[in-house]
Amino acid sequence: MRQIVLDTETTGLSPQDGDRIIEIGCVELVNRQLTHNNRHFYLNPERDIHEDALRVHGITLEFLADKPRFADIAAELADYLQGAELIIHNAPFDLGFLDAEFGRLGLGPTRRLVRGVIDTLVMAKEMWPGKRNGLDALCDRLGVDNSGRQLHGALLDAELLADVYIYMTRGQESLVIEVPMPGAGGDALARRDLSTFALPVLRASDAECAEHEAVLAALDKESKGRTVWRRLEPAVQADAGG
């Protein structure tokens, strides 16, 4: 499976108002492994950069003056993205700008080029509701080193997001842990395979089951009876009885 982690920097917040892309960073994953077949473009936007955007990424018009226009790299970018699954943090923002850039050239929406789009911001909100889920917050939460991120940069942010995505989706792959070895120094670790242990099963008490059911009932009431588990209960009960 081929995936492209993508990020952009722009002149402002609104492609509808004429804001343009000034940087694109792409990191390729194949079967969840970094291939180092990445793409990075700085682009001359042919317009001013908003001061608020400049404070975020620090990319000036003077620096971009001799860089290519989007039209100059559009074919290469489209070919690179073709058939891949895109991974983007807050996908509507970046896709809105890409669609506007491709649209100026008479090309179709970005989604027509790719196999699908994964929005890691949506994923993070589902995994950690009510928490801060910006890229820096996710790096801190997942142990991804973002110490070099003083300003936003498309390629750096795509590289960080690739690590974040792998951490978010890797799950637990084994029951092997590392534990300190007694008497062997503070840094010595031994690997212990927990799959050889008979782990106890602690069942919920009647009071805990009742409290759990009350929480589910409250959620069901709040959603006006649209919770998935309530719709599945008749089928589960029928299977158990049959």
Pairing type for strands 21-30 and 39-42 reads antiparallel
| 152 classed as catalytic | yes
Annotated catalytic residue within 50, 57, 89, 152: 152
CB of 135 within 8 A of CB of 152?
Answer: no
Active site residue ranges: 152
